[in-house]
Amino acid sequence: MIPQWQIGPVQVPVHGLFVGLGVLAAVLVFVHEARRRGAVNEQSLVAVTGALVGGAIGMRLSGLTRHLDFSANPTVEQAWEYGSKSILGGLLGAYVGVLIAKRLGGYRGKTGDLFAPAVALGMAIGRIGCLLTEAPGRPTTLPWGVHAPASTPECPGCLAGLAMHPSFAYEIVFQLAAFAVLMWLRPRITHPGELFVIYVAAYAVFRFFVEFVRANETVWLDLTRPQWFLLPSLALLGFRVWRGYRRGYYRISSADREDDRVPAAN
């Protein structure tokens, strides 16, 4: 695990580098999708700005709920100074940021379908930074278990020299597969907002189960904090997907048409 790369006289933080590359990739995919759908306008760019700002704030402040004992949590000043690496906090912050930006800009259109593939690809790239710098996962006897240096922070298994689940590699594979599936679904599921719902629901399910092999601390009933955060979310998302299915939003009736047909510009 190498937290920094030395490039000449400059030290480059590995995690921050890949997070930045992920954000850049997400913005490029968003702009590409907006152009394809004829949705490049001032309002969509405001939504992107809201997502970036909200995501950054969400990641910084997500450490405020790190402990069940709230007196052990950092202050807002400490959380902002030292930050956090919670992807869930970043996603929640980005979602709130988009809602606020759209409300302030008076934009009523749905932008979630533009964000879905962008977020999936950005997450895949950003997780490379986690894979290279953070504790990989829980001990395993599976043949693809990995060993991390004993100096890896918050990793008792690393000190013991145990093989561990490459949990971030699992997520990279999931996000790349999600990106491919979303790109395939984009001309087939045309009801506004449903592509985003599918992605969020799939990621919530994946993240809940991958937590069983991650290095996060369990807090109650052998579940981690992200899992307790996800439990009510899974119930709400399950209901939302069921309702969309009942209303026929996920019927793929146009699979034979061209996948990348672009609507004519007005």
Q: What is the pLDDT of residues 97-150, one digit of tens each?
A: 777 877 776 766 666 777 888 889 988 988 888 888 887 888 888 888 888 777
Tell me if 256 is assigned to some domain.
Answer: no
Long-range CB contact pairs, 231-234, < 8 A, 24+: 233/204, 234/204, 234/205, 234/208
pLDDT for 83 equals: 46
78 has pLDDT over 60:
no
Domain count, the chain: 1
Mean pLDDT of 148-173: 80
- Alpha helix stretches (DSSP H) within the chain: 14-36, 42-61, 76-82, 87-105, 112-133, 156-159, 167-185, 194-210, 225-246
Tell me if 39 is assigned to some domain.
Answer: yes
Q: What's the mean per-residue pLDDT of the chain?
A: 76
User: pLDDT tens digits, residue range 192-227?
Assistant: 888 888 998 999 899 999 999 887 878 888 888 888
Tell me if 179 is assigned to some domain.
Answer: yes
Tell me if 121 is assigned to some domain.
Answer: yes
Radius of gyration of the chain (CA): 20
Q: Give the domain extent around 69.
A: 10-149+162-247
Tell me if 157 is assigned to some domain.
Answer: no
Quote the crossing angle between the two packed helices 87-105 and 42-61, to the nearest 10°.
Answer: 140
pTM of the full predicted structure? 0.78
Tell me if 193 is assigned to some domain.
Answer: yes
Tell me if 228 is assigned to some domain.
Answer: yes
Tell me if 265 is assigned to some domain.
Answer: no
User: pLDDT tens digits, residue range 22-49?
Assistant: 888 888 888 888 787 776 666 666 777 7
| Residue found by looking up tokens 């939504």 in the block | 47
Beta carbons within 10 angstroms of residue 176's beta carbon:
16
Q: If you ran DSSP here, which 8-state letter would residue 53 be given?
A: H
